[in-house]
Structure 1
Amino acid sequence: MVSISKNNQKQQLLSKIATNDGHGENSPYFDGWKAYANNPFHLTDNPNGVIQMGLAENQLCFDLIQEWVVNNPKASICTVEGAENFQDIAIFQDYHGLPEFRQAVARFMEKVRGDRVTFDPNRIVMSGGATGAHEMLAFCLADPGDAFLVPTPYYPGFDRDLRWRTGVQLFPVVCESCNDFKVTKKALEEAYEKAQQSNIKIKGLLINNPSNPLGTLLDKDTLRDIVTFINSKNIHLVCDEIYAATVFDQPRFISVSEIVEDMIECNKDLIHIVYSLSKDLGFPGFRVGIVYSYNDTVVSIARKMSSFGLVSTQTQHLLASMLSDEIFIDKFIAESSERLGERQGMFTKGLAEVGISTLKSNAGLFFWMDLRRLLKEATFDGELELWRIIINEVKLNVSPGCSFHCSEPGWFRVCFANMDDETMRIALKRISYFVLQPKGLNNIAAIKKQCSRRKLQISLSFRRLDHEFMNSPAHSPMNSPLVRT
């Protein structure tokens, strides 16, 4: 009789979902996070650590949030001023959510979209972040084995959010760099036809606008083509618009809600929006996700499902007050846009000075960096080889394009809004040192062979570089308005 290992015995006692690899933690995307977690950069405590550039967080306006919280103590039930509301907020609330919270979120969504559309608070369904919102919609719209079309490159978390526990598949719509990875009618039709030939039932199309990882926007014509396409196939359209307020340059953001309001021949029952406050306000820890559906049945079903991932009433209470302060919200949206634009501009300009190009973008908390010329070979193995050097030697966690299902090797996503000015400058210095060192651009293979021999040398170089930056009066952390106190 064949003996079974203790590990296998333990797994047999658990469910298949619990023990499979559906969460996706075995991808380079999450491996980069682990490298950072094992050796996190700190300006003073660990200046030679890994700089986190793989996390799309908006930390550039925390000073504005903190100022509002200090000036509005009654918004929280955990302050002396707000404690009188503690009992009303702490007791059980139904899963529709506090009326004032849904109204405030609907109004905020309108403001972010330039007041060109209106949103019905009764169509807003709460969820534990956009992660929970996507899974909830997948459960509502598809059965195990069904699939959603997704243009590439796309956010790696979608593999977890929509697939892991639902059994739903994601089918790529291949987009290419020759037209800046734009979604075309031809690409949509080809993907749909290919799925049909493989006997895969397509239930919907998932788009991310603004795009993660590209930082680009879908224009009105493309959105019209998309809505026309899903109507012709009678499939759902899920629009992830969680970066809607991160646009910092023209053209402006156009929501699918604007398109469906203008189109006469459009089945609104097929249109669903995913939103959250994680990116636009920088509140990922609050776990505020939203499903907004034009389909009455989906709203009803999703609301029942939302009981597994509600937003705490304490959080709803605080945010209802903050989002209802229209003077503050107007100021925040404008200032956040300006700061994001300045930061993205500084980063991409610094890269351009050392010969690194990026895809032109005007939104998001990241940009799409082109390192194809640095590849030893134009393959995804070559991409991962370069990525390992960047992680282990340059000590930067940037995310390789293969983890975003990019169709072409050599592209990397770089997050720029989750660090202070000094960390950004050090990251740029590290990239410059790496690219401009002798034989840099055309000899990555040689660099790799020398890595083990030069490990100490590189480490000392970075230490001198960081020390030089840290002690420069012009670059003192105290001179940066974005450094957190």
Structure 2
Amino acid sequence: MQSSMSNGAYDSHQLLSKVATNNGHGEDVEYFDGWKAYDNDPYHSSSNPNGVIQMGLAENQLSFDLVKEWMLKNPQASICTPEGVDKFMEIAIFQDYHGLPEFRSAVAKFMGKARGDKVTFDPERIVMSGGATGANETILFCLADRGDAFLVPSPYYPAFNRDLGWRTGVKLIPITCESWNGFKITEQALISAYEDALTKNVRVKGIIVTNPSNPLGTVQDKDTLKMLVNFVNDKRIHLVCDEIYAATVFSLPRYTSVAEIVTDMPHVNLDLIHIIYSLSKDMGMPGFRVGIVYSYNDRVVTTARRMSSFGLVSSQTQHMLAALLSDDEFVTRFLDTSRERLSRRHQHFTGELSKVGIECLKSNAGLFVWMDLRHLLEEATTEGELKLWRVIINDVKINVSPGSSFHCSEPGWFRVCFANIDDGTVEVALQRIRSFVKRDKREVKPKTSLKKRKEQMQLGRLSFNNRRIDESSLMSPHNLLSPHSPIPQSPLVKART
């Protein structure tokens, strides 16, 4: 029997859904293409010493030894050990999607501890999801309808377009931030983005901000957070704070959660305030897929909990983590040690870069640095940035992420992750960077005048901003992303990195 496909009666767009046939997932950008280059030629100190070093993955691998040590001392926490197997049936049978009470209590306590015990969290407002990716999508489903928009300070996490917009149909509109003030959110830029959306007849339902910032590695100060809270309160829109890097703050200024801010602002409508959290970054456990929606809005909590049945955390994982996070001595030691190790790695890495003339944005949090290579661009445009990025990937053999994939308005910035590799690999990466900089200095290049460079920089900002914010871009999350790379697109659907 001849199929309907063979006689041309149907094509894939007729047979499949719009979600299945669109490019909203956004895998065909440099952020994911860099991973493809690594996957095809991964560095290994002995078996492939000339391979690509993965510095595009925001993963915290510096304190796994502490978790392993705890597991060996507490075998009863797992239902797959002789010491814990008696709990197997109790944990393996059906569990309410509210989550194990002991798990929600432990997570709420840990969230407070990770924020310096400056604020407490109610376990009854803890809603589970499959990682921060699922948590972000869940909160958007609760707050906005297809075609609505959220404002997002740029530069911002590349996969937000996927997480927040692919299936929800919600648009993301950048709030343009610039290097002159360390990419800090200004009220003027916020108002401009909001009013620009209104002129395009786009309904703005809220703002989503990462604190600490990915990719900047900076924390939002109290004045900025208060400004954001006042703004959403005045406009009656929502504020979603993605706080998944809260416990990675390793030096001053100290971290301030929006939960702490709103306790001192009694006039604020708390129904507009929501927090996203996970254990992927602070605990280095992205594979456990533990995402949290924490909302002060009762209706959102109820709805998100109902939706959580589509992406629950396994009861086995809940059981183990409840024991781990309830161990006060372990949690204190882990957080202190993790911060100290992150600080030491950050200081060493940025210090060595500085010795060869490469500076990074001053930061005190996260698993990465925002590296400034504007002085190495042949031309200060997005195209010039991508040309340099291809050299770093193909010749230097390091996977870093170009700023354009983070929707940065200024060409020449790159995110470099430093916590997902061991000390030896860090030294190899630094040596490759030193060699590249020395080679670059030896090459004869036409020097561009300062005036010309400023003109190119302005042109790069204008062209990039226009590409992101025009009407057609707003209609598709995919179109907000940076140009395609010549490297084949990645088939990977990675965890939140």
- Provide TM-score, normalisation by structure 2: 0.87
Change beyond 3 A, Cα 1:146–1:441: farther
Change beyond 3 A, Cα 1:424–1:268: same
Q: Would the aligned equivalents of 2:212 and 2:246 in 1 still touch at CA under 8 Å?
A: yes
Q: Give the whole-Å Cα distance in 2 for the aligned partners of 1:151 and 1:295.
A: 24
Q: Give the whole-Å Cα distance in 2 for the aligned partners of 1:397 and 1:444.
A: 27
Q: Would the aligned equivalents of 1:356 and 1:370 in 2 still touch at CA under 8 Å?
A: yes
Same amino acid, percent of matched pairs: 67
- Say whether 1:224 aligns with 2:226: yes
Q: Counterpart in 2 of 1:370?
A: 372
Moved over 4 A (4+): 3-8
Q: Deviations over 1:250-288 (max 9, x none)?
A: 011000000000102100000000000000000000000
Q: Counterpart in 1 of 2:237?
A: 235
Residue type of the alignment partner of 1:12: Q
Q: 2:418 aligns with which of 399, 416, 419?
A: 416
Q: Give the whole-Å Cα distance in 2 for the aligned partners of 1:290 and 1:236.
A: 17
Q: 1:94 aligns with which of 88, 93, 96?
A: 96
Residue type of the alignment partner of 1:235: I
| TM-aligned CA deviation for residue 437 of structure 1 | 1.7
| TM-aligned CA deviation for residue 184 of structure 1 | 1.1
Report SS of the residue matched to 2:50. coil
Q: Which moved more, 1:333-342 or 1:113-122?
A: 113-122
| TM-aligned CA deviation for residue 443 of structure 1 | 3.5
Q: Counterpart in 1 of 2:29?
A: 27
Q: Give the whole-Å Cα distance in 2 for the aligned partners of 1:441 and 1:415.
A: 28
Q: Deviations over 1:71-122 (max 9, x none)?
A: 0000000001000000000000010000000000000001011111111000
- Say whether 1:258 aligns with 2:267: no
Q: Give the whole-Å Cα distance in 2 for the aligned partners of 1:383 and 1:192.
A: 29
Instruction: Choose between structure 1 and 2 for higher RCO, CA contacts under 8 A separated by at least 6 residues.
Output: 2
| TM-aligned CA deviation for residue 7 of structure 1 | 13
Residue type of the alignment partner of 2:48: N
Change beyond 3 A, Cα 1:31–1:201: same
Q: Identify unmatched segments of 5+ residues in structure 2.
A: 448-497
Residue type of the alignment partner of 2:22: N
| TM-aligned CA deviation for residue 9 of structure 1 | 2.5
Q: 1:407 aligns with which of 406, 409, 417?
A: 409
Q: Give the whole-Å Cα distance in 2 for the aligned partners of 1:355 and 1:101.
A: 48
Change beyond 3 A, Cα 1:7–1:252: farther
Q: Would the aligned equivalents of 1:95 and 1:306 in 2 still touch at CA under 8 Å?
A: yes
Residue type of the alignment partner of 2:136: H
RMSD over aligned CA atoms reads: 1.6
- Say whether 1:115 aligns with 2:112: no
Q: Give the whole-Å Cα distance in 2 for the aligned partners of 1:298 and 1:441.
A: 58
Q: Counterpart in 1 of 2:428?
A: 426
- Provide TM-score, normalisation by structure 1: 0.90
Residue type of the alignment partner of 2:384: G
Q: Would the aligned equivalents of 1:23 and 1:160 in 2 still touch at CA under 8 Å?
A: yes
Q: Counterpart in 1 of 2:468?
A: none
Residue type of the alignment partner of 1:124: I
Q: 1:182 aligns with which of 160, 184, 188?
A: 184
Q: 2:324 aligns with which of 317, 322, 325?
A: 322
Q: 1:36 aligns with which of 31, 35, 38?
A: 38
Q: Counterpart in 2 of 1:448?
A: none
The 5 Å alignment of 1:42-191 reads: 42-191=44-193
| TM-aligned CA deviation for residue 16 of structure 1 | 1.1
Q: Would the aligned equivalents of 1:154 and 1:404 in 2 still touch at CA under 8 Å?
A: yes
Q: Would the aligned equivalents of 2:131 and 2:280 in 1 still touch at CA under 8 Å?
A: yes
**How many residue pairs align between the two structures?**
443
Change beyond 3 A, Cα 1:405–1:78: same
Q: Counterpart in 1 of 2:395?
A: 393
Q: Counterpart in 1 of 2:347?
A: 345
Change beyond 3 A, Cα 1:376–1:438: closer
The 5 Å alignment of 1:275-354 reads: 275-354=277-356
Change beyond 3 A, Cα 1:348–1:6: farther
Residue type of the alignment partner of 2:62: L
- Say whether 1:198 aligns with 2:189: no
Q: Give the whole-Å Cα distance in 2 for the aligned partners of 1:433 and 1:319.
A: 44
| TM-aligned CA deviation for residue 12 of structure 1 | 3.1
| TM-aligned CA deviation for residue 4 of structure 1 | 9.7
Report SS of the residue matched to 1:439. helix
Q: 1:212 aligns with which of 214, 228, 242?
A: 214
Q: Which moved more, 1:5-14 or 1:162-171?
A: 5-14
Q: Would the aligned equivalents of 2:12 and 2:21 in 1 still touch at CA under 8 Å?
A: no
